[in-house]
């Protein structure tokens, strides 16, 4: 990645080919899921240290340590939203509460209806990666991902699933929903890594 980590994703600057969007559009594939608190849980599974699965119901998840970070959203369809403040559970908090096994190299973030996105552990384990429940002090709305969405400000926004339900720790890379359908496996907007045909050897598993 080109910039020092403390600035990445909160630069108030547009990556190449992006334009500023006023307001906050809604972009996703498929319907908005209905939130049912009694059936909702957030789980961390796969190659956890110790092998066990960690689960939180909605009340427990809401009681986890709360952090805020600044982070921009860059949609691969070329609009960006700059300067949002996200509140929720930092990825690093989750990594402490549910530590990965030492062999873990990637994570798959899972959302409602089987939507998923894969990330290198190093892209997940940053100070700005956050499971957001709030934006600018307000609870997320259903169409923006309530109750929880991932925000990874230094990558294109499809890398941040809305309606997240869990994280799978992986010892090898696997493609998520859009990464299997023509989008770049890594998705760094500063390098305009939009499409899978731009991938260099080592950027992702064979298609
Ligand atoms: N579950 C889910 N999350 C998703 C998507 C999706 O299709 N399904 N689309 C992604 C894309 S492409 C973008 S640009 C952002 C948009 O977030 P917003 O609708 O809150 O602006 O959500 C991301 N998260
Ligand atoms: Mo997007």
Give the pLDDT confidence score for residue 11 in this predicted structure.
62
Output the 3-class SS for 113-131. Answer: HHCEEEEEHHHHCCCCCEE
Pocket of ligand 1 (CB under 6 A): 24-29, 75, 111, 115, 144, 157-158, 160-163
d(C-alpha 1, C-alpha 141), whole Å: 32
CA 158 – ligand 1 centroid, Å: 5
Residue 75 alpha carbon, nearest atom of ligand 1:
14
Coil, strand or helix at 156: coil
- DSSP-derived letter for residue 102 is T
d(C-alpha 170, C-alpha 29), whole Å: 25
Give the pLDDT confidence score for residue 177 in this predicted structure.
98
How confident is the chain (207 residues) per 10-residue block, as mean pLDDT?
47 89 93 97 98 98 98 97 96 98 98 98 98 98 98 98 98 98 98 98 95
pTM: 0.95
The residue nearest atom 24 of ligand 1, judged by CA position, is 161
State whether the Cα torsion 182-189-92-115 is positive or negative. negative
Give the pLDDT confidence score for residue 13 in this predicted structure.
84
8 A C-beta contact, residue 48 and residue 166:
no
**Which residues keep their CB under 5 angstroms from ion ligand 2?**
27, 75, 157-158
Q: What domains does the chain contain, in order, with CATH numbers?
A: 37-198 (3.90.420.10)
Give the pLDDT confidence score for residue 100 in this predicted structure.
98
CA 120 – ligand 1 centroid, Å: 19
């Amino acid at each position: 990645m080109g910039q020092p980590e403390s600035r990445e994703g909160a630069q108030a600057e547009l990556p190449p080919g992006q334009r500023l969007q006023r307001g906050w559009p809604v972009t996703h594939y498929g319907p908005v899921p209905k939130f049912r608190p009694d059936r909702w849980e957030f789980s961390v599974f796969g190659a956890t240290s110790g092998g066990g699965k960690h689960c939180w119901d909605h009340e427990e998840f809401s009681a986890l340590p709360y952090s805020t970070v600044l982070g921009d959203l860059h949609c691969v369809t070329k609009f960006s939203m700059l300067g949002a403040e996200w509140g929720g559970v930092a990825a690093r908090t989750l990594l402490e509460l549910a530590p990965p096994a030492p062999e873990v190299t990637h994570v798959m973030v899972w959302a409602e209806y089987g939507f998923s996105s894969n990330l290198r552990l190093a892209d997940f384990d940053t100070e700005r990666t956050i499971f957001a429940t709030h934006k600018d002090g307000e609870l997320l709305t259903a169409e923006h991902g309530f109750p929880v969405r991932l925000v990874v400000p230094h990558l294109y926004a499809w890398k941040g699933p809305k309606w997240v339900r869990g994280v799978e720790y992986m010892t090898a890379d696997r493609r998520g929903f859009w990464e299997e359908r023509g989008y770049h496996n890594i998705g760094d907007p500063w390098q305009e890594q939009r499409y899978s045909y731009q991938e260099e050897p080592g950027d992702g598993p064979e298609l």
